[in-house]
Amino acid sequence: MSVTMAAALNTALHDAMEMDDGVVVFGEDVGVLGGVFRITDKLQERFGGTRCFDTPLAESGIVGTAIGMAMYGYKPVVEMQFDGFTYPAFEQLVSHLAKMRNRSRGALTTPVVVRIPYGGGIGAVEHHSESPEAYFAHTAGLKVVSPGTPGDAYSLLREAVSQPDPVIFFEPKRRYWSKEEIELPIEREPFGTAVVRRAATSPGDPASAPTATLFAYGPMVRTCLDAATAAEDEGWDLEVVDLRTLVPLDVATIVDSVQRTGRAVVVHEAQVFAGYGAELAARVTESAFYHLEAPVLRVGGFDIPYPPAKLEEYFLPDVDRVLDAVERSFAF
């Protein structure tokens, strides 16, 4: 059946709550309303107001409460209504949620999932359109996830709820209504397992089309698949690797792809400067330097605050900007 990413996330939460009475869902407007994007729709109706409930507009308090509940054996799944609303909770996330296991020498764990709708593309303002994943990928003690398909949204969220440690779960809001033919429930994917969404057809053959790998996650997976299809008109053969989890990172799949195609382009919505793509470029260079035909290139947002909605199309990477980077890679 055709399932949207929003429906897949809702089903994942439903199934997790059904399986474990310790799973609780709370945040701003997630109870009665079912969330701004309806990801928690009907969960309060099904499981009651003690397991799915609304909170005050106080993100630091939401995460602080989740930490306390996790220390007492619950598995809280909390929602930051929009990406930019995460910043008031930053101190709780970085100073306490990420560090509790290490601070207590393993005596206390905090199995909290923090869901964050993120990224642009829906015509919203800056605090509703940012991509702050690099902040959290840089924080030891946190796992960082971003699904690119409805199937992965289900499987990775179920996996996140099962984790003994905190997970920052970035949901690409511009893909909430993307669809995939799947039957839920589906098997959970373990963290740290990237997937080749589109394989290059003839890597390593000098007589065939030039090859390169596009690395993406979350909202840019679809963009890169569209770019790979458009590249066929140019006679280019592009492989697309969906990272799925930024922490832990599946370095083996990344290196294997680059060893076969010889070129790498990293694509994300966040600003390029000091973004997650810089870490990926470094890993590829360290592990596959002698297989590279060109430097690792990056495509992302510009080094400016997120622009007004009417200008976001110029900020966000699209097919043309991805193919421009691929062409520059082939020119080396």
44-95 pLDDT per residue, tens: 999 999 999 999 999 999 999 999 999 999 999 999 999 999 999 999 999 9
Judgement on whether residues 250 and 148 belong to the same structural domain of the protein = no
Q: Please state the pTM of the whole predicted model.
A: 0.96
Judgement on whether residues 205 and 324 belong to the same structural domain of the protein = yes
State the pLDDT at residue 204.
67
14-44 pLDDT per residue, tens: 999 999 999 999 999 999 999 999 999 999 9
Judgement on whether residues 175 and 75 belong to the same structural domain of the protein = yes
Domain termination site, one of 154, 181, 208: 181
Q: Which one from 128, 138, 268, 291 is the annotated catalytic residue?
A: 128
Judgement on whether residues 32 and 124 belong to the same structural domain of the protein = yes
Q: How confident is the model at residue 207 (pLDDT cuts 50, 70, 90)?
A: low
Judgement on whether residues 219 and 299 belong to the same structural domain of the protein = yes
Q: Which domain range does residue 314 map to?
A: 195-330
Domain termination site, one of 149, 181, 213: 181
State the pLDDT at residue 201.
87
CATH number of the domain enclosing 154: 3.40.50.970
Q: How confident is the model at residue 206 (pLDDT cuts 50, 70, 90)?
A: low
Judgement on whether residues 34 and 91 belong to the same structural domain of the protein = yes
Q: Are 76 and 26 a contacting pair, CB within 8 Å?
A: yes
Q: Are 63 and 113 a contacting pair, CB within 8 Å?
A: no
Total of domains in the chain: 2
Q: Would residue 127 show up in a list of annotated catalytic residues for this protein?
A: no
**E strands present in the chain:** 2-4, 23-27, 52-54, 75-79, 113-118, 143-145, 167-172, 179-181, 195-198, 211-216, 237-242, 245-247, 264-271, 297-301
Judgement on whether residues 20 and 143 belong to the same structural domain of the protein = yes
Establish if 189 belongs to a structural domain: no
Task: Give mean pLDDT, residues 243-266.
Answer: 97
> Residue 98, SS3?
coil
CATH number of the domain enclosing 271: 3.40.50.920
Judgement on whether residues 84 and 219 belong to the same structural domain of the protein = no
